[in-house]
Structures are given as C-alpha cells and as structure tokens.
Amino acid sequence: MKDRIVLCLCLCLGLGGVLGADTRWTGAVSDLWSDPANWSNGVPNADQKAIFSSTTVPVCVMDMVGAQAKQLAVGDNSGGSLRLVAGDLTVVDWSIIGYAQANAGDQAGHLIVEGGTLNCQARLYIGFQGEGDLTVDKDGVVNVYNQASGIGQEKTGNGSLYVKGGTINYWAGGASLGLYTGKAHIDLSGGTLTLTNSSQNRDTMDKAITDRIITAYDGAGRVIVDTTSTVGRIVITGLHPFEPVPVDGGRVSAGSAELKWTPPDPCQPGKPVAFDVYFGTSPDFPVGGSVQTPQIAKQKSISSIVVQTKPKTRYYWAVDTYFGNAKDPVFGPIFSFVADNLVPTVKAGDDVVTWLKNGSAEVALKATITDDGFLSPYTAKWTVAGEPSPGMAAIADPKAENTTVTLQATGQYDLKLEANDGEYTGSDTVTINVFANGCEAAKSLPGYQPLPGDLNGDCVVNDADLAILQANWLKCNALDCNDVK
C-alpha cells in the first residue's frame, strides 16, 4: 500500500543570508514559526518577506495566532516547506509556492494547510516560474482575497493543488484563477474548492475539467460542480466511485456509524467482489507507518459495516477490492471523517410578504430544527435582528420553535432563530416584508402584472376605474384630435 503513504514531510528548509528586511527560515533551534531564533531576521512581520529556500532544515510548523508576513515565498529557488496545523497566517501582499526554479523536482516548494487558516490578501501563485504544490487537508482553510491567482502562472511554472480536506476559497471576481499558461493540476479528494460564481470562472472550470486539469481522486472519481447551493459561489468537490458514506471529509454524530460504499461491478458476472476494510484513527495504513490502521473485514462480500466512534475524533478508512484475478486486491483511497456532537441544523422558514390589517400584521413562524441528540435537548431562541424602528416587532414566545410575531409598522424585519445544544449553536434568519395593504404587497412580488382596466392601480377593476374612464370619455390629447374625432 505504498500509494497510501501520506505526503512525506522530510523536505527541509533553508539557510540563507539576510536580504534587506526580509527574513529567511533557518529552523536553527526547532520547527516552530514563533521562535525568532529560527529566522535570519526574526519572526516575520507585515513588512517582511518570509522566505523558505532550502531542503536541508526542518519543515516550518505554524504555531501562532495572528502571524503575518508581507510576502510569502515557499520554495524560493531551492526548495522549502511550510505546514499549518493550527493558528493563522495573513500575507498582505503576494504568496508564491515555487518561485523561480523550473523543473525543481525534489527542490519544489511545498505548502500544507491541514489546520488553522491561511489568508492571502493578494494573489497566490502555485508554481510561479518554478515548481510548487499546495495541499489543503483535514480542517485547513485557505482564503485568497482581492486578486486573480494562477497555478502554473508563467510558462515554466508547474503548480499542483491537492484538496484532500478542508476548504480553499478564491474570493476575487471575474476570472479568479488562471490555469492555462504553465502546467497546472488540481485534484479533489475530500475537501472543497470554491470560486466566485462568474461566467469566466464557470467557463474555466468546465474547460479544465474536460481537459483533466481538474480531477478527482487522481482521475478515478468525478468532479462535482455546484453553482446553486451557495449564493454567489461555485462549489467544487470530488466524488469517488465508491460514493462513500460518511462523505469523505464530512462530519457524523459520534457513536455508532455505518460505513457504506458502492461496490464495483464484478469482473465475472454472478461472482460478487469482496473487500478488505480498514478503519481507525491513524492515517498510517499497512506499510505506511508504525501505527497501523486495523483491518476490520477480510475478503468479505459486503457493502457496509458498522463501527463505533468517539466525539472530536478524526477517523480514516479504506476499502480494498478483490475482483478474483491476479491484481487483487485493488487498493482504494483513504477516506476520512470527523465524529462529533453535530451542530443543530436550523431552518427559520421561507421569507414572508404580508401587510397591515387594523394597524398590525401577525405572522406565524414555522421553523425546523434538527439535531443528533447531543449534548442535551437543544434550546431555541428567536431574536429580532432587524426592524424598521425599535420595538416594532413582538415575538409571542421567543423560546418556541413555532410561535407568532406581531409587526406594528411597514418595512423589513429580520428574525433570527438560534438553536443551542449546550455546546454548539446553529442559526438561520427569516425576512418578513410588511406593506400598507395587500395591493402593495402583491406589487412587491416578482412578476406582478397590473390588471388591464385597473386605472387607479388599487389591484381591483371596479366602479372607481369605470368612473375614471367615464370622466375621461372621448377626451383626446393627440396632436391630430380634430381629425380623429
């Protein structure tokens, strides 16, 4: 199972001279970012370029909250690695992995974000003129703000983005991500990539998936592009043919969990495939390390198995397939999920359009809250998050999921419902627009069409309209009225 060995972190980092105000990682005393003795010119600040440019010193591990750098150069010209497992790093100008050395091979730059947050305030180049890769995994989050980025940015650039878990968000609008100058590759196997939902990004994603620049599970899976679930975003994930449950990179309620997968078709009709199943808390699978993940099924023709999980624990599992031929078993990828107390899911209900009757409007609030029963029965709380003026909204029973709200004035009201299970809080908001009457409310809806003959615009065709018609009967205000008459 050599293909399962997690990314080797034996790449090392650099010694180098002081360059102006820049500061270079030396790893002289430890692997911690926070120790000034590990840097040529002190721990980076927002005015300094942080440089990683050697394979002969330890990988730098982020251990600070609020870490900053002006620029980030990982793999400046002769290798270098930075790993975020916690904390956060904000880079105010550009970030580059794989700066200048084309075909760097062992001396490529490596950035790993498997916890904490990397905020790139400007562009992020993965493989600028050189070779570099970014791995997003586990709970890691990468945000790239404000400027368009590139993978394989220039002709000699060679960049790879591995989204194995966590999330990377490109927030710039228009064309957020260039993939077509140098060599670019994105592989999705458990994490999420999001982009601004622009026509340029949609076109680039479609083309890159067709061109296999974007793949899932190293080409074995499908790339899923969702442009509807999150307003304004394109959400891209990978799906393995096993269609694993729990979802790879997902979360489940701790306790008993069922691992499920979709078996491939047998090579010989009628002869079902069999599976080895591995499950545990270590990503070190057999042959991969000293702590090995236990085998829980051996050559069984099953497609699910029940396991026990503990809260706040990440689990790894894999399924190897026996087709009944010489290549058995065919190794599957390593899936992971986190077992925990789940955050309550809150749906505050559909937005409402209504109107005042005798000076007020009463609206029934119909919410849905679901939770996994941990830690305790949840408690609900409605609050007024926005109203035309203070005190115009009165919620009958703020602690009841289903209650009523009385609204005393026209305008927009935002009501927030929170559900707290003793540990986590989920929330959602419903918007209520109140108009002076039912006609104004009708006119606020998209697609409102006035009735032919509703001359006074009160949404009714009646004598009042007829009176207007009669009062104006045979009047003419054309320039040739005499001819018309």
| Complex with Ca ion: residue 248 or 340, whichever CB lies closer | 340
CA dist 361 and 348 (Å) reads 18
- Which residues in 361-380 contact Ca ion (CB under 5 A)? 371-372, 374
Using the rule CB under 5 A, give the single segment among 83-91, 174-182, 340-348, 362-370 that binds Ca ion: 340-348
User: From the CB of 279, what's the least distance to Ca ion, in Å?
Assistant: 23
Q: Are strands 393-395 and 403-407 parallel, antiparallel or unpaired?
A: antiparallel
| Complex with Ca ion: residue 187 or 421, whichever CB lies closer | 421
Let me know if 334 is exposed, middle or buried by CB neighbors in 10 A (0-12, 13-18, 19+): buried
Tokens of 213: 């620049």
Amino acid, single-letter form, for residue 382: W
User: From the CB of 235, what's the least distance to Ca ion, in Å?
Assistant: 24
| Complex with Ca ion: residue 173 or 250, whichever CB lies closer | 250
Side-chain half-sphere CA neighbours of 83 within 13 A? 18
CA dist 375 and 390 (Å) reads 35
| Complex with Ca ion: residue 272 or 311, whichever CB lies closer | 311
| Complex with Ca ion: residue 170 or 374, whichever CB lies closer | 374
User: From the CB of 341, what's the least distance to Ca ion, in Å?
Assistant: 5
Q: Determine if 341 is a binding residue for Ca ion (CB under 5 A).
A: yes
Tokens of 356: 């005042």
| Complex with Ca ion: residue 428 or 454, whichever CB lies closer | 454
DSSP letter for each residue of 392-453: -EEES-TT-SSEEEEE-SSEEEEEEEEEE-SS-EEEEEEEEEEESSHHHHHHTSTT--PPTT
Give bridge partners of residue 39 from the DSSP assignment.
25
Q: Determine if 93 is a binding residue for Ca ion (CB under 5 A).
A: no
User: From the CB of 316, what's the least distance to Ca ion, in Å?
Assistant: 23
Q: Determine if 342 is a binding residue for Ca ion (CB under 5 A).
A: yes
Side-chain half-sphere CA neighbours of 410 within 13 A? 11
Q: Determine if 339 is a binding residue for Ca ion (CB under 5 A).
A: no
**For residue 325, what is the DSSP state?**
S
What is the distance in angstroms between the CA of the first residue and the CA of the last residue of the chain? 95
Q: Which residue number has the CB closest to Ca ion?
A: 421
User: From the CB of 342, what's the least distance to Ca ion, in Å?
Assistant: 5
Q: Are 430 and 350 in contact (CB under 8 A)?
A: yes
User: From the CB of 21, what's the least distance to Ca ion, in Å?
Assistant: 49
Binding mask 256-285 for Ca ion (x = CB under 5 A): ------------------------------
Tokens of 290: 């000293």
Q: Determine if 76 is a binding residue for Ca ion (CB under 5 A).
A: no
Tokens of 472: 């104006």
User: From the CB of 452, what's the least distance to Ca ion, in Å?
Assistant: 11
| Complex with Ca ion: residue 63 or 454, whichever CB lies closer | 454
Q: Which residues of 122-147 are buried (b: 16+ CB within 10 A; e: fewer)?
A: bbbbbbbbbbbbbbbbbbbbbbbeeb
User: From the CB of 442, what's the least distance to Ca ion, in Å?
Assistant: 13
- Which residues in 415-474 contact Ca ion (CB under 5 A)? 421, 454, 456, 458, 460, 465
Residues that bind Ca ion (CB under 5 A): 341-342, 371-372, 374, 421, 454, 456, 458, 460, 465
